[in-house]
Chain A
Amino acid sequence: MHETELNDLSDDADYAASIQQGSPSNSRGDSSRRSGPIELSGAEVVYVKDNVAIHPTQYASERISGRLRLIKQATSLFMTWIPYKANPRGYESTGLGQSSQSRIPERDRNLYTIRAVSFTEIRSIRRHTPPLGWQYIIVVLQTGLAFPPLYFYNGGVREFLATIKQHVPLVRSADDANVFLVNDLQDPLQRSLSSLELPRVVPVSNGTPPLSPFSTDENHGSINETVNDWGHARLRVHDPARDISIQVLEKFSLVTKFARDTTSHLFGEVHNDVFSGNVRRPQIQSAPVIRDNERSDTKQESVDFVPVTPDPFEVDKISLVWGKPRQPPLRFDEWTIFLDSEGRITDSDSLRKRIFYGGVEHDLRKEVWKFLLGFHAYDSTYAEREYLAVTKKLEYETVKCQWKSISAEQAKRFTKFRERRGLIEKDVVRTDRSVSFYDGDDNPNVAILHDILLTYSFYNFDLGYCQGMSDLLAPILFVMRDEAESFWCFVALMERLGPNFNRDQNGMHSQLFALSKLVEILDSPLHNYFKQADCLNYFFCFRWILIQFKREFSYDLIMRMWEVLWTYYLSEHFHLYVCVAILKRYRKKIIGEQMDFDTLLKFINELSGSIELDGILRDAEALCICAGENGAACIPPGTPPSLPLETGSTYSHQEDEVL
């Protein structure tokens, strides 16, 4: 690991000495020029770095540059990262910009803003210093969630860490030289105790900072005002629909820390939008129905609904909006109507909508999934598809040959290959063996799973093989019954889900983070409960998201679930609304029994096999419509399964132990 040595912070005595002699004063001088208001209020900027960026997507023009700062107030240290205004000045000065007009709307830029996170909330900082490309860090919070990577376009990670070290205890993890633990005590015994109670290790006086010093020039943010508005912005009207829309927005304003003017701007639209179909989503033809018989009693409840002191049992408001009844699956005769004489699907939106509401009959899946997954383009003709099938089959064989041709002698000298192969061999025999298609000794389908996965690990060598992939592949092969086709369908699926399997778990973290925001706007009492029970990392939903609920449903049902998700009809992130829908189903039990993290995890695990699919899909649809734009805004661009917008290396440079 030569990169580690190159940038070794703690062992670099020269550097430490230069720090002592006040090289941070550079940054201090830097900051005093720009950040007058901060110093006036007793906070001191001890580190400033310009051109520190977030890459929400793979697309260079969607990168957000900003200013990273460390601010010291009394004995506490805070980190802020404030994006530059829409015209990314610093970004351009580096010559890295692709266009002067960033494609990220102001609102999304704000979504990423890191406003004064205290180091007492930070568990660790992981440093990445790839030999090529920019250095970046990932800041992991005590909750286990992480901020998106912060890229240092002008370097300075080492200085950043050194500065932190001057103000708070920062030790290198014994596990991984690139991980720096914050407030982690040296003594192993102490440490194991403190990891149990870390939030309490730090004195209370280090708690929430006065926020005003940090609302600085770059940004029109005023989170504290938004928070304080909670009480009086709430209107006590008796129209339940209106109540919900307002609650949703109020929660939203808290979640995203929007400036007050943004919020009130949204308020202006809301009466019409949230309930009567969303303006930005015109493809929804029928608005969700409000059930008449529900109306009278829910109206009563909504009057009682007070977000500040919620009664957890009375606020299942969203359930008064119902998703459309599920339809029977798409049949063959209907399917042919979608195809023109040459085999093109001219109205793919209607097709996707049809499948979203009903799924596909099993015999049709082999055909239709290729479109849903993106192996076939909707506007391709029969002839083009036939041609594609032939060329792709050959291409598959070529990639497969790459490992097939490795001799035993060569394999002896190719550890990574042997390890990958060993892992895949071990895992395919532990995948869906209770399904008759894969059961029994020496089942040839198990061997095909193996070959496809190993070929994929060569096709996408950077990502390689990771557990969970076999779960995603098995139903695809079951439907396709063809090795090469299954491979390409899997490739297409992994274009979207690949980041779930990134070594640093970034794709998973961003989805869990988005999920927590969705629950916050769609069910704030549940959110508050999770918060109080220290469950905000949403790790209990890890398996759901990693493999798209594969382990939670029988084969029949998971195929239905997947084809619905793969329409990406209402949202690319419909799966997150499914998560919210399931959690809401069981919220009474969760809150009523005061489940702690362990109990909750076990409870969620054991829901497997007992979740009612159609009802959940309807709820999820209703939630998705209800949340509308606000929901979409909780999900940062680039969160899987969004497609990467630009080709290039999708997968971050993987660590050595990658298989």
Chain B
Amino acid sequence: MSYAYLFKYIIIGDTGVGKSCLLLQFTDKRFQPVHDLTIGVEFGARMITIDNKPIKLQIWDTAGQESFRSITRSYYRGAAGALLVYDITRRETFNHLASWLEDARQHANANMTIMLIGNKCDLAHRRAVSTEEGEQFAKEHGLIFMEASAKTAQNVEEAFISTAATIYKKIQEGVFDVSNESYGIKVGYGGIPGPSVGRDGSSSQAGGCCS
């Protein structure tokens, strides 16, 4: 598949908040509550369109468990966008946001766009974190914010796509040097069928790696 840009995303947040479910809902449009817990990282990808340009999202769904953090930190490098997820029915997942953010700030690109997601909003009757608190946290830390549900698909598309739109806007504004891959963005041949650009733009026949 050809694309104008490829963005690397990571999904982070405590274990069980629904990171893998969000990814699956976004890539496969289904909710599968019984898939395996994540060890290390899993990958997903999907094409979206922004400003009539095909953009490929390569998404890293990381393990949330605390003791895996020393490993998962190595995944932040070169991510253009991050979805930071908490579970609105479990207060402690919200309380841990600051430490996730700290990780992101330390190990990711400073220009990474971060979307804060309060997941499982279908479980309104068990809510433990109010929408306002989520908004407040996002505002304080300069994040975009949405509540979503991997189960009902509410706001799932929107979350992934508006993150991409923000990144795209930053590109237009010249915030990124897109030839520098540490920003998590690769430039492809927009709309033109053919091999994607290789990792350093010089060897295009090796492009089969990011399917």
Contact = CB atoms under 8 A, between A and B. Distances in A.
A539 B103 CA distance: 18
B91 interface: no
A40 interface: no
A597 interface: yes
A455 interface: no
A193 B208 CA distance: 29
Q: Kindly name the residue among B8, B16, B33, B36 whose own CB sees the greatest number of chain A CB atoms within 10 A.
A: B36
Given A427-B37, A537-B74, A551-B36, A192 B109 contact: yes
Contact of B210 (A193, A423, A427, A599): A599
Interface string B27-53: 000000111110111110000000000
B36 to A, nearest CB: 6
Nearest to A184: B106
Interface residues of A, number: 51
A551 B39 contact: yes
Contacts of A191: 105-106
Contact of A593 (B67, B74, B75, B206): B206
Given A192-B110, A501-B67, A602-B43, A594 B105 contact: no
Contacts of B127: none
Nearest to A427: B37
Contacts of A144: 70, 74
Contacts of A423: 15-16
Interface string B94-138: 000001001101111110000000000000000000000000000
Contacts of B182: 196-197
A468 B68 CA distance: 11
B65 to A, nearest CB: 5
Given A426-B16, A505-B67, A195 B43 contact: no
Interface string A463-496: 0001110110000000000000000000000000
Q: Kindly name the residue among A195, A429, A439, A537 whose own CB sees the greatest number of chain B CB atoms within 10 A.
A: A195
Interface stretch (A4-12, A369-377, A541-549, A634-642): A541-549
Contacts of B199: 594, 596, 599
A536 B81 CA distance: 26
A197 B110 CA distance: 13
A605 B15 CA distance: 20
A192 B77 CA distance: 10
B110 A193 contact: yes
Given A192-B108, A596-B199, A471 B39 contact: yes
Contacts of A188: 105-106
B198 to A, nearest CB: 8
Interface string A507-523: 01000000000000000
B177 interface: no
A458 interface: no
B16 A599 contact: no
Interface in A271-294: none
A432 interface: yes
B77 A196 contact: yes
Contacts of A430: 34-37
B140 interface: no
Given A430-B34, A605-B42, A467 B70 contact: no
A593 B203 CA distance: 9
B103 A175 contact: yes
Interface residues on B, range: 35 or more
A431 interface: yes
A539 B74 contact: yes
A175 B96 CA distance: 11
Nearest to B34: A433
B55 interface: no
A389 interface: no
A595 B209 contact: yes
Given A597-B74, A599-B199, A605-B41, A503 B107 contact: no
Q: Kindly name the residue among B65, B99, B106, B203 whose own CB sees the greatest number of chain A CB atoms within 10 A.
A: B106
Nearest to B209: A599
A433 B108 CA distance: 34
Nearest to A433: B34
A432 B36 contact: yes
Interface in B192-211: 199, 203, 206, 208-210
Interface in A515-560: 537, 539, 542-543, 546-547, 551
B15 A467 contact: yes
B173 interface: no
A605 B75 CA distance: 13
Interface in A78-124: none
A603 interface: yes
A606 B99 CA distance: 30
B95 to A, nearest CB: 12
Contact of A602 (B106, B109, B209): B209
A470 B38 CA distance: 12
Contact of A192 (B39, B67, B107): B107
Contact of B105 (A192, A196, A595): A192
A347 B14 CA distance: 49
A657 interface: yes
B107 A467 contact: no
Interface in A409-439: 423, 426-427, 429-434, 439
B13 interface: no
Contact of A505 (B41, B70, B77, B208): B70
B34 to A, nearest CB: 4
Contact of B102 (A174, A471, A595, A603): A174
B68 A195 contact: no
A429 B102 contact: no
B210 to A, nearest CB: 7
Given A191-B106, A426-B16, A605 B67 contact: no
A598 interface: yes
A467 B34 contact: no
Interface string A157-181: 0000000000000000011000000
A603 B209 contact: yes
Given A431-B36, A603-B209, A542 B71 contact: yes
B206 A657 contact: no
Nearest to B43: A602
A192 B114 CA distance: 15
Interface in A328-342: none
Nearest to A430: B37
B99 A175 contact: yes
Contact of A189 (B65, B103, B110): B110
B78 interface: yes
Interface of B: 8, 15-16, 33-37, 39-43, 63, 65-68, 70-71, 74-75, 77-78, 99, 102-103, 105-110, 182, 199, 203, 206, 208-210
29 contacts: A175-B103, A175-B106, A189-B110, A192-B106, A192-B107, A192-B108, A192-B109, A426-B37, A430-B37, A431-B37, A433-B36, A466-B65, A467-B63, A467-B65, A468-B39, A470-B37, A503-B67, A505-B70, A537-B74, A539-B74, A542-B71, A551-B36, A594-B199, A594-B206, A598-B8, A598-B77, A601-B75, A602-B210, A605-B43
Given A188-B105, A430-B34, 18 more contacts: A144-B74, A189-B110, A192-B105, A429-B34, A430-B37, A431-B36, A466-B67, A467-B65, A508-B71, A539-B71, A543-B40, A546-B39, A593-B209, A599-B199, A602-B43, A602-B209, A605-B41, A606-B43
Going nearest first, the 9 A-B pairs with the smallest beta carbon separation are: A433-B34, A430-B37, A543-B40, A192-B110, A426-B16, A467-B65, A593-B206, A599-B209, A543-B39
